[in-house]
Amino acid sequence: AGGLVTAVAPVVIQGNGIWIGWAGVHLEEGEKIPESDPNDKTPTAGLLSEKVIPVDLDPQTFDSYYNGCCNGTFWPLFHSMPDRAQFSADSWKSYCAVNKEFALKTVGALENLSTVETDSGTPLVWLHDYHLMLAANYIR
């Protein structure tokens, strides 16, 4: 697991939160995220599959979004290397589609929370990094 998930997962676990994200693998329709091994002691081990809402992305869309737009365009621009940025209308369309999918999953999760009585107050929605810059607008 990468730096973000190992840092944030314990907060989600302790706060009884929900993780909405790409599972790191391409899942088939209806395929569940497997539970972690009971002997697993990594920071993500307590993140139960019932608390994870996967954003399923087909491999081509994911590649265009992640490698094309995020890493090919935004990363160089945000790291003062505009000469290395690559622009593609298809990658931009994938970026928009993925952000919209994250937003739909987030809104669905918030709607589900509103039907459950809870004393935990107003939900906190955390959209991390430039990979999801458009998602907040879609959520609004």
CA dist., res. 112 & res. 106, Å (int): 10
Sketch the domain layout of the chain as residue ranges.
Answer: 1-56, 57-140
CB atoms within 10 A of CB 91: 21
Q: Which residues of the chain have pLDDT under 70?
A: 1-2, 117-120
CA–CA distances in Å: residue 15 to residues 22, 25, 54, 117, 121: 20, 25, 19, 16, 12
> Which tens digits make up the pLDDT trace of 44-56?
777 888 888 989 8
pLDDT at 120: 67
| Token digits of residue 105 | 């999953």
pTM value > 0.75: yes
CA–CA distances in Å: residue 121 to residues 5, 58, 105, 133, 139: 24, 35, 20, 25, 19
Kindly report the backbone phi and psi dihedral angles of residue 28, in degrees, each rounded to the nearest multiple of 5, phi listed first: -80, 160
pLDDT at 117: 62
